Amino acid sequence: MTPVELLRPRALTPGDLVVVASLSGPLEAAYVPDLERAVGVLERMGFRVRLAPLLQAGRRRWWSAADPAEIADELNVLLRDPEVRAIIAHDGGQTAFGYLDLIDVEAITADPKPILGYSDISLLHLVLYARTGLVGFHADLATPGLGGAWQAASVARQRELETLYATLLTSVEPIGALPGGPSWETWRPGRAEGVLIGGVINRIALVQATRYALPLERFDGAVLFWEEMGGQAAYVWSYLQVLRHAGILDRIAGMVVGIPREIAGLDGSPTLAEIVLDVLGDRDIPVLGNVEFGHAGPNLPMPVGVRVALDAHERSLSLLEPAVRPMTPAERCAPAG
């Protein structure tokens, strides 16, 4: 199978427009202040910010911000708008499965843009990477992330994250080592280099049951990253078993596991590390655990499709490639949106 070429968005520049959109769950009125704080964070990074029309407090359909077709329509408008240079999801939820077949893939290939988010949004990263090669910006959501978890961090940590995210979106040079933390643990030592692929583990498992599944060849030599929130420890074990039966665990070169949140049954034995090593068996795969991405927040960015170097013994993870590309001469000469 011929590998799909990695599709990098062009690098953002100061003053570019970033749109916060409801790509899944609704905006509860109680979290409007968090959304406002998220806008402030993005503006401090140097971007203009706009809220998409569906992002209205109290607007909802069942568990979603709107009907899936409405969400897809709004996303497609943003993908086709040349003024919009990046899209960040307001929150996660349970809606992305409802509009995977409605996304304007041609608009993405014509003008790829960063789409930021995790949780349900990790499904978009996986599917769009599978279909177009688009780099998926598995990173903090706007409202619970930039406007929530970030605000509980120290001022120094907030500034570190702002610099990291701004660099990810604007620099055409590799970031290098992500800032490690005291929670990082060596679950199985070793080194690996490969393409980052991952997200919420239930989305990784479920997407493989659809026509938008990643071909197994995409996992050859990859570094699989995953996290989970809620449910039972037995569910995590089961999802890992699904990945084993699918042949994914036989193809990857390394694994990075996020900090679990609200998973019942991890307060004694088994631990998450025990579950992972139980399923991996004798596979010689380095595993780095309890890394800060996912629902435990704040998130270190994990760009899907970008090559990384993992050293589980030294507890390090480095981005070897940029997530964005330089502007072309034609793009520099194009009039502003």
Chain centre distance of CA 329: 30
How big, in percent rounded to 5, are the helix, strand and coil portions of the chain? 35, 25, 40
Stretch (H or E) spanning 163: helix 155-170
Cα–Cα distances in angstroms (integers) from residue 61 to residues 64, 67, 88, 251, 285, in the given order: 5, 6, 21, 40, 43
Active site residue 227: yes
Handedness of CA 227, 231, 237, 239 (dihedral sign): negative
Stretch (H or E) spanning 203: helix 201-207
Of the residues 22, 24, 64, 119, only one is catalytic, namely 119
**In terms of residues, how long is the chain?**
337
Stretch (H or E) spanning 53: none
Active site residue 28: no
Of the residues 74, 227, 292, 321, only one is catalytic, namely 227
Of the residues 90, 125, 138, 295, only one is catalytic, namely 295
Cα–Cα distance between 308 and 270 in angstroms, integer?
A: 29
Active site residue 331: no
Cβ atoms of 149 and 298 closer than 8 Å: yes
Catalytic residues: 119, 227, 295
